[in-house]
Amino acid sequence: MSAHYQNQQLWVEDQGVAALAERFGTPLYIYSKAAIEQAYQAFATPLQGRKHLICFAVKANSNLAVLNLLARLGAGFDIVSGGELARVLAAGGDPAKVVFSGVGKTRSEMAQALKAGIHCFNVESVAELDRLNGVAAELGLVAPVSIRVNPDVDAKTHPYIATGLKENKFGIDILMAPDAFRKAASLPHLKVLGVDCHIGSQLTQTQPFVDAIKRLMELRETLAQDGIELAHMDIGGGLGVTYTNEQPPKPAEYLAEMLPLIPPSLTLVMEPGRALVANAGLLVGRVEMTKDNGFKRFVILDTGMNDLMRPTLYQAVMPVLAVNQSQNQGPMSDLVGPVCETGDWLAKDVPLSAEEGDLVAIGGAGAYGFVMSSNYNSRPRAAEVMVDGDKVHLVRQRETVESLWAGEQLLAE
């Protein structure tokens, strides 16, 4: 966690959270540059001396400053849309280190990525192979491809974020994969580069990853018999983080189990999102008021599901950190937002004595936080800042109310 208490006050690196909230207003996303750097090195260090490419899953946090920081550290990027590709390029990312995942790539997104010269397309269906071959032919180019295989392993995570089971829409079933590879190898405007899988997110055990890689290695042998040689293996993302009590393996522990399964002749590609940024971010809100209906105490913030969807969407339990540490004790309370929805809550039954005007932060908000926020109830999206030691950078200004209807029009008559 990037945040810590000092003299009973919450800090991010050398900046007091209360002062940041005063200066930039609330709701406010605060990221720690050092925490992102440390998380990146936790993956990169064990991979030294080995052919590898760490592709940050842009969907987890697509702020340009975050992408730029990771690009400078040497990261590549896993994208799922033309919009994410444009962001990566705007942030100074190297297209040659980009992999493109997703089940519904449009023709124009394919053309955009081909022209940019990305590293690889992670193809998720036979229909996509045909479409990509056609688009590459029109451009007179050859598309580098990996086939995303669905290895049918149970990631033992929340059903909304498990992706490697037969019933999920992702990838090509492992039993059908050899045919898909043969087809890819036969198409003139495709070049088979590798195989990939992504079995789910917020995994706290290594066994499902191990099972998936073993299946991919068997597939590699089958393909070799057909003369199809793979240059890389992409093991996806999915490594979990500690929000409250979870005990996921550390990146070094996870890699220590993965690396012996994959021959060093293969370039190891991975797509971590959450593990690089979740615990580098906080969402800070101010208490508007409190109320007790005789049954429950509610602490009502100026931020809610519009800024942070994870609690209501996945029943995710995220850490609550009163900015004044002494307020982490008190009556059991539900931390809720101002949005007119029963599901607008950030935490349930937490001890909290914060009152009107006090500040409360939610930890673990650096991944799938701002990126999933919305303007529901016509709420401008939050500002984002990045702390670097005793410096702070405004990396996204708060939206204005007027900007919410900037693309709208009254009826002409």
For the beta carbon of residue 356, count every other beta carbon within 10 angstroms.
11
Identity of the amino acid at 2: S
Stretch that binds ligand LLP, among 194-202, 260-268, 298-306, 398-406 (CB under 6 A): 194-202
Q: How far is the CB of 368 from ligand LLP (least distance, A)?
A: 3
Q: Which of these ranges, 46-54, 182-190, 246-254, 267-275, lies near ligand LLP under the rule CB under 6 A?
A: 267-275
Known binding positions for substrate: 274, 310, 314, 341, 368
* Number of residues in contact with ligand LLP under rule CB under 6 A: 20
* β-strand partners of 31: 281, 386
Q: Are strands 15-16 and 267-270 parallel, antiparallel or unpaired?
A: unpaired
Nearer to ligand LLP, 208 or 238 (CB): 238
The residue among 15 and 150 lying less far from ligand LLP, judged by its C-beta, is 150
Q: Is 363 in the site for ligand LLP (CB under 6 A)?
A: no
Binding window for ligand LLP (CB under 6 A); candidates: 230-238, 290-298, 374-382, 398-406: 230-238
Under the binding rule (CB under 6 A), the answer on residue 42 touching ligand LLP is no
From residue 295 to residue 334, the character string flagging contacts with ligand LLP as x (rule: CB under 6 A) and all else as - is ---------------x---x--------------------
Quick note: the x/- pattern for ligand LLP over 161-190, rule CB under 6 A, is: x-----------------------------
Residues 95-154 that bind ligand LLP (CB under 6 A): 101
Contact between 232 and ligand LLP per CB under 6 A: no
**Closest separation between CB of residue 201 and ligand LLP, Å?**
3
**273 is a contact residue toward ligand LLP (CB under 6 A):** yes
The verdict on 213 binding ligand LLP (CB under 6 A) reads no
Interface stretch with ligand LLP, choices 27-35, 104-112, 209-217, 272-280 (CB under 6 A): 272-280
Whole-number Å distance between alpha carbons of 129 and 116? 19
Q: Which is nearer to ligand LLP, 18 or 313 (CB)?
A: 313
Residue 120 designated active-site: no
**Beta carbons of 151 and 216 less than 8 angstroms apart:** yes
Closest distance of CB 314 from ligand LLP, Å: 6
Least distance CB 294 / ligand LLP (angstroms): 34
Interior/surface letters 365-391, b for 16+ CB within 10 angstroms, e for the rest:
bbbbbbebbeeeeebbbbbbbbbbeee
Determine, following the binding rule CB under 6 A, whether residue 44 of this chain makes contact with ligand LLP.
no
Q: Residue 41 and residue 26: Cα distance in Å, rounded? A: 31
Q: Give the footprint of ligand LLP on this chain (CB under 6 A).
A: 57, 60, 78, 101, 161, 198, 201-202, 236-239, 271-275, 310, 314, 368
